[in-house]
Structure 1
């Protein structure tokens, strides 16, 4: 079998997936983005109390992103809604393919394959071909990827941009540029600025910071009052995003909020856990970067944002199926049953999402049994476990595939 054949399977899978996702009539988050773009066009405040009514945001949903993001979403507000939906589906499909491909290539260290189209016709082992197809299916059908497609979310786009900026050994633009843009659109990618800091990549660090500042300035020029409001108050109000105890929130804060016995100390517990996660992740980034395992280092940075953010909904967790692909491809090239078991376990919870099958909404999560708490917080627990595994690895270089 060749890479071209595997790519054909992946393409077929995504065509069917796109047709299925296109049947959804809402793509509700996309409609909120369009409302944000519409507010920019009309000069309406994107954080005003009447934002939803004035800009046709569905279900009264507010705009929670920085003003620069609203500027980026203007094209979605200009075109008809059907065109906007199709465009977002195509963009997310492209981002998913890019993120998957970058993960596979970076895990196996086969960047040379991307230099020539002949690589597509080069034979690969049956084992690698089977694992590739299985990993593609797992990634595509995982809950985080599915939710990004059907909600019209931007997390796949941002993750692909970050991976494209960090994983390849060479890029034709100043490294850090895409990370800076991602941070300006949504704050959580700022953890990847931290990645540059921990790995002492000073130039990419500077580029990402300057890019973010310039993007914020663009947002300020378009919506000065909203930019000031966001930077001084809105960005620090987690309640604007939704109920913290909701089962889909798999961050440390969400886990703590679901435990009634921690009500009196939940702030201290969250703060302490956040510091520990950052220290653990920084260690994991440094260790794996020294080993030459850039994917593990990148995942470690991503888990900081997912675990330490007050809110990490299911569609935020696109890095979880990336971790499944990573371990499956490590098994394909390096063997070791632990890689296979880790890949299958992460694939299973990415596909099934246990928290979605437990009592939820209206604070019913706070009535869970101990077993339900463990099962309902398994994404966050898995991310924490992976950080521990990554941090405890030896600093020896990864054996070439």
Structure 2
């Protein structure tokens, strides 16, 4: 039995994949795991957990050395902390860990977040896919450039995606009392997930939208209490200075702003117009998805839109596109999903790292942006409520006819916060990104090539910890 189109889940009837015997499948799995291990260890450049180094150094500077959050810079680079102050509060446990332990913790947290994301996207009958298909899926995911960069940088986007999807699952299953809290926490850590609050408002989920707003406000207030100076600097200066995050025209920036910057168009009016048009399309398509009861598509559309409208969307931020692939598979568009996924595994945009001019540069250097835009415009939004009516009629037709001893009863519509308990939802932005142009393994945004130097702090002074990092 397949999962409803309005809810998460992969197709219920999948053609047999590869060998049919357990021994043959185990051999194939071992070969694939070995091939993926070789690929990830040799082909893509590892990022050296650069962003984790930013988080780790910032927290240690703040807690152990009395430094300022936004004055810290990774030794030898110009890069520092770019998230809201609450993100530093949430990362305080790093102050108790050594570097090696922090890397291990980052990998484990990201693995747990990925498991949660896959569990939600697969739907309630996830066990029917079996160990063999899950291992094949994990091998495919290991090739996905945004995902492998997320692990290698020590990034937090998977955790935020899991928070958002968990929230959506609460709404879709009618357990909406605390729905919105995950979105609020994610929005307090990074600003881009705040777009999901807009989706809740479009969907008429005012209570969930209020919860998300209150949680985000409370988390921000906690950060103000913890460090008033850092909070004042971030909300009055750092937030409005995109140069602290990186060059807008850097090829890793796969947002609308990045496309315009590579064309030499850096004016705010043109970008604002593109953003407004994109948000209009998002509101229209997301509203249609919500009215059809297709929460998975609604949140997938929101994730793609967040990547497009953010001023800077590094390649590893595109993990927010994962729910879109679940929607495509659920709708039966396996070839389209496979083709788009394959492109996002190739690191192809880096071919235009040095020169993005000409028609080929315009098309190729922005290829990931075109994929996100195409998903926004054409992602299937599921079936309408009217399309599900025959299922309800079929269910009622099997009920016994009323009799004098057993009079007929009238069903009362469910008054839960969600339109259907079978529907589950799925779907980040300034980051510590870029590199110092010295070593591909130490720069924070490149996938296969180093970045040009980019400023990370609008303050001239950096903390003394920049010179003397704490011991592991």
TM-score (norm 1): 0.80
Partner of 1:319: 320
Distance in 1 (alpha carbons) for counterparts of 2:183 and 2:69: 24
Answer whether contact 2:290 2:298 (CA < 8 A) is retained: yes
Q: Work out which of the residue numbers 335, 338, 344 in structure 2 matches 1:341.
A: 335
SS for the counterpart of 1:47 is helix
Whether 2:98 is the aligned partner of 1:80: answer yes
Quote the residue 1:104 is aligned against. Answer: 122
Q: CA shift at 1:352, angstroms?
A: 1.1
Deviation of residue 214 (structure 1)?
0.7
Select 1:197's aligned residue among 175, 196, 201. 201
Change (3 A) 1:58 1:90: farther
Deviation at 1:268, TM superposition (A): 2.1
Change (3 A) 1:87 1:393: closer
SS of aligned partner of 2:70: coil
Conserved 8 A contact 2:168-2:179: yes
Q: Are 1:246 and 2:250 an aligned pair?
A: yes
State the superposition RMSD in angstroms. Answer: 3.3
Higher relative contact order, chain-length normalized (CA < 8 Å, sep 6+): 2
221 and 43 in structure 1: CA distance in 2 versus 1, 3 angstrom threshold: farther
Unaligned runs of 5+ in 1: 106-110, 115-119, 332-338
The structure with more helix, counted as a fraction of residues: 1
Q: Is the 8 A contact 1:47 1:226 kept in 2?
A: yes
| Deviation of 1:25 (Å) | 8.3
User: What are the Cα deviations for residues 293-342 of structure 1, in whole angstroms up to 9, with x where unaligned?
Assistant: 212100111122211111000011102233223312432xxxxxxx1232
1-structure distance, mates of 2:302, 2:349? 24
Deviations 1:212-246 (A, max 9, x none): 11101111111101101111221121111001001
Residues 284 and 390 in structure 1, CA contact (< 8 A), matched pair in contact too: no
Are residues 1:31 and 2:92 paired? no
Does the 8 Å CA contact 1:39/1:46 hold for their aligned counterparts?
Answer: yes
- 2:294–2:383: 8 Å Cα contact kept in structure 1? no
Deviation of 1:353 after TM superposition, in Å, equals 3.0
How has the CA–CA distance of structure 1 residues 35 and 123 changed in structure 2, closer, same or farther, with 3 Å as cutoff? closer
Of residues 40, 47, 64, the one that matches 2:70 is 47
User: 1-side partners of 2:179 and 2:318: how far apart?
Assistant: 24
> TM (normalized to structure 2)?
0.69
Question: For the Cα contact (< 8 Å) 1:306–1:317, is it kept in 2?
Answer: yes
Structure 2 residues not aligned, in runs of 5+: 1-15, 17-21, 392-421, 423-472
Tell me if the contact between 1:192 and 1:301 (Cα under 8 Å) persists in the aligned partners. yes
| Number of the residue aligned with 1:384 | 373
Q: Confirm or deny: 8 A CA contact 1:188 1:309 kept in the other structure.
A: yes
Compare CA radii of gyration and give the structure with the larger one: 2
Instruction: Tell me: CA distance 1:391–1:80, structure 2 relative to 1, closer, same or farther (3 Å).
Output: same
Secondary structure at the counterpart of residue 313 of structure 2: coil
Q: Does 1:164 align with 2:186?
A: no
1:297 counterpart SS class: helix
Contact in 2 for aligned 1:288/1:390 (Cα 8 Å): no
Task: Tell me if the contact between 1:96 and 1:140 (Cα under 8 Å) persists in the aligned partners.
Answer: no
| Equivalent position of 1:187 in the other structure | 191
Residue 326 of structure 1 contacts residue 343 of structure 1 at CA under 8 Å; is this kept in 2? no
Matched residue of 2:67: which SS? coil
Per the alignment, residue 268 of structure 1 pairs with 269
Counterparts in 2 of 1:35 and 1:394: CA distance versus 1, 3 Å:
same
2:255 & 2:107 partners in 1: Cα distance?
27
Aligned to 1:154: 156
